[in-house]
Amino acid sequence: MRALALYGTIGSLIVTAVATAPAGSAPRASGAPPAPVAHRIDFGRCAPVEHLPSTVECGKLTVPLDYARPDGKKIHLTVSRIRATAPDERQGSLVFNPGGPGASSLEFPLYGGLPKWNKLARAYDFVGYAPRGVGRSAPLSCQDPEEFAKAPTDSRPHPDAAFKRKKVAEAKKYARGCARRAGADLPFYNSVNNARDLDMLRAALGEKRLTFMGASYGTYFGAVYATLFPGHVRRMIFDSVVNPAPQQIWYRNNLDQSIAFERRWGDWLRWVAKHDHHYHLGTSKQEVQRSYDKAVTQLRRHPVNGKIGPGQLQAAYLKTGYNDAFWPLRAEALSDYLHGDPKQLVSQAMPQARTAKDEENANAVYTAVECNDAHWPRSWQTWDRDNSDIARIAPFETWDNAWMNLPCAFWPEHSESEPAGAESAEQGPAQELLDTAGHATGTGLDDLLLGTHGPLDIHTEPGALPPVLLLAAERDAATPYKGAVELQRRLPGSSLVTENASGTHGIAFGENACVSKYAEDYLVRGKIPAHRVYCAPHAEPVPGQQANRAQLARSGARPGK
């Protein structure tokens, strides 16, 4: 399941012979391709399609599609920026990635206008960008947007054999669509290339070292960056940390998500039951679940407006697991619907035709990156066994999570050593590169990092990397807490700030002043806290309380399915 983009709208391998190593990093071994040269970005007015105000300036970053062939095909990434508001205090550029994979941070510069970001905006240029595949940055598509957004859809916590056969067929079709539409370019959309692009962006901004804030998936490819380019890091915040252990990327991380979301779903059910006097949905967790199940049954028989079925309901209520700012909204909508008034359900769950293209694009990028990054089980029997076992104890979103990722079981077996643009992705010869000891191996470097040999082994040697700040909520469902503990183990000298007893996904500069103070002190003053510190949870939401637009934006602009 995609870890939703955070802050989405306003309102053991240290690679010393990486083919893309820029000037200032480890020496390039003979035989490796030359590093691509990053040219300064020519900023100007943003294109109307970006819907950004005139205070934001935009430009294009040109990067190789294939870093093993830096003189080959180029792609162009859209970048946005607002300059630091206090030039005398300026420390450089702060680059942000909100996660996904498949999310854009082009609107991030606007956050400088919010009070909680004010001190950072004085010290940094706020820089956002659309990663490769996203928006107008060499966009990916796997399916016609109208077909992707077709509604209503069903959601079954315990699907029968016929329903499973249908979803397997859909996953195969989707994987074929990705291969057909992207062609030989498809394998180049992955986390290692996202990290390489980030270093090109650093150089193009004129920064010797990178100051970066990554959330959710942004923590993973940020950690890839820190492993590949430790000498290019100035300061990094990783907010809501993906478990980077190679055996977790990505199949086991998704299984862990399904279990963690059940716990968070239970948190919401108990909160609603606690406030039964307001919502009248039941006085126990079990009674509120029965109320939700009643809505699922009714929507399966009679979709609201012909568009909101069980699938749309599940996508909307999944957000209760990301941010408890959604709790009052969803409880009110469920209560009203079951008592005869569907208006709030329509406003919160109705598919929007105007967003279909963006949602299909985001899903295509998510799928391509995660499928390309690592091995996935190729046997449907493995998926069926594992998800059936988990659904017995965590039925809320296990199977919807499986369906979202199932195209990876049928993903084309590409390798980055194959030439982009070839008629067939299977025709290119393997390129001989060098291993980290400088010996010829006869295998592509990216085969060492990805695919055949699994994901990059994230870690740095003690002292190789400046201190990094990790932020995590103890009950985060999208990126379970053990991921932050694992990344801290792999990045010696890093510090971990934990928000106790909270499940919010994305906690920097949010409702918890304690967490935000640690983040601000680190970015503005370079002050790093102790190895591990803790913050009390923020206050529970109040029934009837309306979250502001910025709060809801922290959990992403797109549904999680």
**Amino acid identity, residue 304?**
V
Helix (H, G, I), strand (E, B) or coil at 350: coil
Query: d(Cα 167, Cα 206) in Å, to the nearest integer?
Result: 48
Give the sheet arrangement for strand 57-64, strand by strand. 44-45, 57-64, 74-82, 124-129, 92-97, 210-216, 233-241, 469-473, 495-499, 532-535
Q: Give the contacts of 553 (CB within 8 A, at least 6 positions apart).
A: 7, 8, 9, 10, 11
Q: Give the contacts of 214 (CB within 8 A, at least 6 positions apart).
A: 96, 97, 99, 220, 221, 222, 236, 237, 238, 239
Q: Which of 375, 414, 459, 505 is catalytic?
A: 505
Q: Would the CA dihedral through 223, 103, 554, 270 be positive or negative?
A: negative
Helix (H, G, I), strand (E, B) or coil at 432: coil
Q: Please indicate whether residue 505 is annotated as part of the active site.
A: yes
Helix (H, G, I), strand (E, B) or coil at 532: strand
Query: Between the CA of residue 188 and those of 141, 410, 412, what are the distances in Å?
Result: 14, 17, 13
Per-residue burial over 199-208, b if 16 or more Cβ lie within 10 Å, else e, is bbbbbbbebe
Q: Which of 476, 502, 516, 538 is catalytic?
A: 476
Query: d(Cα 266, Cα 339) in Å, to the nearest integer?
Result: 23
CB-hemisphere CA count at 13 Å for 368? 34
Helix (H, G, I), strand (E, B) or coil at 534: strand
Q: Give the contacts of 352 (CB within 8 A, at least 6 positions apart).
A: none
Q: How many helices (H) and strands (E) does the chain have?
A: 18, 10
Phi, psi of 94 (to 5 degrees): -110, 110
Q: Please indicate whether residue 453 is annotated as part of the active site.
A: no
Query: d(Cα 413, Cα 265) in Å, to the nearest integer?
Result: 36
Query: d(Cα 446, Cα 464) in Å, to the nearest integer?
Result: 23
Q: Please indicate whether residue 256 is annotated as part of the active site.
A: no
**Amino acid identity, residue 555?**
S
Q: Which of 104, 216, 291, 335 is catalytic?
A: 216
- Burial-class residue 146 by CB neighbours within 10 Å (0-12, 13-18, 19+): exposed
Q: Token pair of 461, please?
A: 């040697």
Helix (H, G, I), strand (E, B) or coil at 234: strand
Which residues participate in catalysis according to the annotation? Answer: 216, 476, 505
